[in-house]
Structure 1
């Protein structure tokens, strides 16, 4: 999420790891994945998910300057919970008024006296796929206020409170779940404008072209009134058009109370398992990116729902498991196949680009990109045996990263340093950029830092030790999973959607959003590379899971969407540049140009960006739409690199055009030397 943005530009195979998540609790200082559970782990070495435990993080946090750069508007959060920035449900917590959220298949929002839910109506125009908040079922609980009292990987618990602050009841929503559960803490009557009529042991009502079911335990229903005893429960759910109210209603009797997360890495596969903790069987919706790798035997006979991301299959069970291809993390190009002439050409260009390196910017986004550019030049120079430019580039990088990683740097200056924000629980760079003080885009920014530091430290392990007191905190800011209390677990990553969210406080009626799926992939690549130089196996496993998941979702929802799904009927473009919880746009925060739409989805074309290959026809179509055959424009360098992934002919053509591309169109996070080296070395077959 970048409002007002200007133009900007592995582990060894065969190792299995797992992360087990704790369930939500009311007073835990941080909620989410992190503590070992009772589920069996896959064969092979395992991880309990204790990535950056408190014992490791607390001394590092104490060592840096503490300062709140910008107070976050935390309005509806129980004490002692870590503020949930960058989450799909952040809009419930932050801001003067709560915003709707989208726990697919549902939309959900808080109201003045309770909450409302509904199944979104999906529609598409040439530049937009919409499915926003649809408050078909408005439930008056008599509440004067609502607060998030617990959250974990999938679930959010909301306390509905009276004027005195006493809890009337608790509402639980969960990603993937069609159910909204309410449990009364005292005898009470809930009211809705809808009239529910009996259907066997259930009740149904019609609203917005959808049939909604209602299951009640320890209570009665009279039209729009639900009378609950203390401890009584009411559960609302949309009935699939191709499903049965009875079949879904039987599962509605088992409220989801919390969730778990685990993953496994084995060979070329990465498997994610999300667990729905309930008193019995429940139901969950499978997203399009999960369908191809869905675990054998998953029972998806309950029907389907429309969504802005495509048709959701509704399945019965308590675990959603799917597998995606493993994306390796790498920080270097393979130059072994280059000719002597190509190496000589690259050596000359490296010398020129190192000499032309401008001063490093002071903010965390452009500063991070500049560090990444320098690291790629250093790596190229070292691989080519160009000792003088390699030494010069290393010296500049070492000095600049050394400034950034002085723990007390911000006690002496207002730039090139980081502070710890005790209020929001995170690391913020001075000077902020693109809302990073509001926790926007932290993974984009910090991924570049981690990538650059890892490339440099790979050849000089002493630098890993030198940079670690602050660089480990950057990694912890986006990669913690040990409930350390100093940072939220997996700050930006959504395990169900398999991708990140970029807005810190999500002050939008369409939920959270993410634009640059490729920079998110770069973030996890940088995290994995840093884990390797730090010899942190738990972090390396987690980063590989994050990288592989984000890459797979990036293809499914940004660059290679399944245009045959009914959700895309009427949509007029090859890609989706900006994804939200409640809509999807052919748009960016910073430019209306077609080249920007695709460019922001491929930047920075790192050595790990070959995940974008695999569908030559789609790549050709994307490039044609973005460029109109003209690469002499902003992002033209990255689009040439992306075009080469379509095949050998396209690679050769791109290389020739890159040699003649005007310097104006080589991005500030790129260099001509790296551009040429990437095009000389990349192979797709």
Structure 2
């Protein structure tokens, strides 16, 4: 299913999770509201000692990939899979998209701008336009010197490597702030007019966009600015419907951002706190999934973006919630009648007999384990005992092979190592650029889901698999401050979804395609946490799943077609999301069936978010099958998705599934699972 795309291009209710990350200037905790049914804060799921222990137990990768971390300060964990990764990795820095702005490092300074969003039949584009450029006298290169949940700090260096100034950017922050480390001069690409104070900001209009400027400890003279040591200047974008005077009082350099999370019975809540250097209030632009109302009395205006209208509102906190999702280890077949059980039992026998050899790489290998764990769960439920016995031996033998801690010392496949240079777990037979940290949550999510399913009622098996599975969990979901792996490697709290590219070598920013494999990863993490009896990890996984699923609906499968950004867009799903672009396209196929299938597979037992809007399911299916029906590649995933459209759709999907040719069954699926999924809806 997954051809080399990025590699070629480069259940019990749980309480609040207290997982605030450190700000740029050091560790701190932040406040944040809790939901009405939320409990008191509990401990984080990981500790530095535990994570270090997990990583040190694995053999060290002898020849790590050279990710070219040429713009990263010493001592920082390489920030793979982040919205700003393109600033760090590669010979030249890439543009990044901390909405509502875009930002680029340029020789001797930086550039920023608001996108001019354009929508065509297949693409929503918000490319970087350097509408304001700032040159810093004596500056050459820039490096990332600190980062946290949503903000990044960059040092602009002189020829001798001394930091002349520090620049701060952040997701959701309509400002770029520069603080002088010593007296220095700046040259702006265009003159600003005004006093440059909080009460009377200087302004500049570029095309349709207005920018403001405020400074402390310096002077502005048109396009020239002089700053004293520790003086600062903040450039900001003025929102539509607002004024520079509305924003200027809040345009103070950030100290950093932090995240507070909570999980209640029915919701997962998030609060991002933006702390300014002098603890004065600031402003935050909310994305559509944050639920901000442009018509609210507190709204200060709006910004266009490729994700829809952003609403500027007072900070320092941005708080939102997502529905909690039910996680299941397997399909529930308890309601099937005798005929259905007999049909499935016969199909299980046929499927077990025809299973192929296990792939050696981390993507297809994990996917096959997930497939067989689900097939075993079906076999047990429908009474296919003989087939279940053989399948159990097969899948347990294979997962034990993958979880031999020292496996990489004996072979070059079916094993994991620790990359001490790039800080993470890597399989010795990588795929899709996983050695460059592409797609780790997709790959390891399958392993965790399979392990959580197989060990759901087997404490001894969970303990046996734990050394390697705990390392995979930490690689993608660590919430502790440690230098062994990044904090939540792939997950972006502000955007509420994951990023798949390790180094993000794209001018459009980082990207993610398979939102459904991302949700499967967090469901798998929760299943593994349950098998381990780890309540804190289960709560953290529930929070990740809730927000990833909400974002998947808001931007991939069920986005609000009434938002003006979709006015000229001619499709009902958006498979490929970048920071500054959204495409009706995939990395591997131009077919409409692929465009929906990559947002549905592997249709896990916990894929309920895909069923929230039956009418949209039917619309999405109509588009995906318009040219080829279900009798085509990925038809099995489409049939399972179609069954979510209602009882009539389910019945039609079941009939078609029984007739679907074997050639249209994906390697991560079986006909048993296809039928069982539809029968159990």
TM over 0.5, shorter chain: yes
* 1:218 aligns to 2:201 (yes or no): no
* 1:54 aligns to 2:48 (yes or no): yes
Match of 2:652 in 1: 653
Cα separation, partners in 2 of 1:622 and 1:352, compared to 1, 3 Å:
same
* 1:110 aligns to 2:105 (yes or no): yes
Q: Is the partner of 2:190 in helix, strand or coil?
A: strand
Match of 2:281 in 1: 281
Cα separation, partners in 2 of 1:352 and 1:459, compared to 1, 3 Å:
farther
- Structure 1 alignment gaps of length 5 or more: none
Shift of 1:117: 0.5
Match of 1:235 in 2: 234
* 1:16 aligns to 2:15 (yes or no): yes
- Whole-angstrom CA distance in 2 between matches of 1:6 and 1:64: 25
> Which runs of structure 2 are paired with 1:93-104 in the superposition (5 Å)?
93-104=88-99
Match of 2:86 among 67, 88, 91: 91
The question of whether the paired residues in 2 share the 8 Å contact of 1:511 and 1:582 is answered with yes
Shift of 1:262: 1.0
Deviations 1:184-229 (A, max 9, x none): 0111111112110016621011113211100011111101111111
- Whole-angstrom CA distance in 2 between matches of 1:244 and 1:611: 39
Match of 1:498 in 2: 496
> Which runs of structure 2 are paired with 1:8-407 in the superposition (5 Å)?
10=11, 12-13=12-13, 15-25=14-24, 45-48=39-42, 50-67=44-61, 68-142=63-137, 143-198=139-194, 201-252=200-251, 254-278=252-276, 279-291=279-291, 300-407=298-405
Shift of 1:25: 3.8
**Structure 1 vs Structure 2 CA RMSD:** 1.9
Deviations 1:362-391 (A, max 9, x none): 001111110000000011111223222222
* 1:555 aligns to 2:553 (yes or no): yes
Match of 2:5 in 1: 4
Shift of 1:60: 2.2
- Whole-angstrom CA distance in 2 between matches of 1:370 and 1:581: 31
- Whole-angstrom CA distance in 1 between matches of 2:282 and 2:169: 13
The question of whether the paired residues in 1 share the 8 Å contact of 2:24 and 2:255 is answered with no
Shift of 1:20: 3.2
- Whole-angstrom CA distance in 2 between matches of 1:36 and 1:531: 25
- Whole-angstrom CA distance in 2 between matches of 1:265 and 1:354: 39
- Whole-angstrom CA distance in 1 between matches of 2:154 and 2:296: 30
Q: Identify the range of structure 1 (201-210 vs 269-278) with the bigger mean alpha-carbon deviation.
A: 201-210
- Whole-angstrom CA distance in 2 between matches of 1:283 and 1:38: 17
- Whole-angstrom CA distance in 2 between matches of 1:139 and 1:300: 32
Shift of 1:265: 1.1
- Whole-angstrom CA distance in 2 between matches of 1:586 and 1:431: 31
Match of 2:637 in 1: 638
- Whole-angstrom CA distance in 2 between matches of 1:304 and 1:41: 27
The question of whether the paired residues in 1 share the 8 Å contact of 2:289 and 2:550 is answered with yes
> Which runs of structure 2 are paired with 1:599-678 in the superposition (5 Å)?
599-628=597-626, 630-678=629-677
The question of whether the paired residues in 1 share the 8 Å contact of 2:32 and 2:271 is answered with no
Deviations 1:524-565 (A, max 9, x none): 000010000011111111100000100010011001111111
Match of 2:415 in 1: 417
The question of whether the paired residues in 1 share the 8 Å contact of 2:33 and 2:319 is answered with no
Deviations 1:421-476 (A, max 9, x none): 01110000120000000000000000000000111111322111111111100000
The question of whether the paired residues in 2 share the 8 Å contact of 1:108 and 1:133 is answered with yes
- Whole-angstrom CA distance in 2 between matches of 1:47 and 1:64: 32
- Whole-angstrom CA distance in 1 between matches of 2:32 and 2:208: 41
Match of 2:463 in 1: 465
Shift of 1:61: 1.6
The question of whether the paired residues in 2 share the 8 Å contact of 1:139 and 1:192 is answered with yes
Cα separation, partners in 2 of 1:22 and 1:48, compared to 1, 3 Å:
farther
The question of whether the paired residues in 2 share the 8 Å contact of 1:2 and 1:440 is answered with no
Shift of 1:41: 6.6
Match of 1:580 in 2: 578
The question of whether the paired residues in 2 share the 8 Å contact of 1:269 and 1:326 is answered with yes
Q: Is the partner of 2:23 in helix, strand or coil?
A: coil
Q: Is the partner of 2:112 in helix, strand or coil?
A: strand
TM-score (structure 2 length as normaliser): 0.95
- Whole-angstrom CA distance in 2 between matches of 1:59 and 1:216: 47
Shift of 1:132: 1.2
Deviations 1:40-90 (A, max 9, x none): 877765555532212112222222110144121111011111000000000
The question of whether the paired residues in 1 share the 8 Å contact of 2:24 and 2:152 is answered with no
- Whole-angstrom CA distance in 1 between matches of 2:445 and 2:510: 20
- Whole-angstrom CA distance in 2 between matches of 1:329 and 1:203: 53
Q: Identify the range of structure 1 (602-611 vs 199-208) with the bigger mean alpha-carbon deviation.
A: 199-208
- Whole-angstrom CA distance in 1 between matches of 2:667 and 2:21: 42
The question of whether the paired residues in 1 share the 8 Å contact of 2:39 and 2:264 is answered with no
Shift of 1:99: 0.2
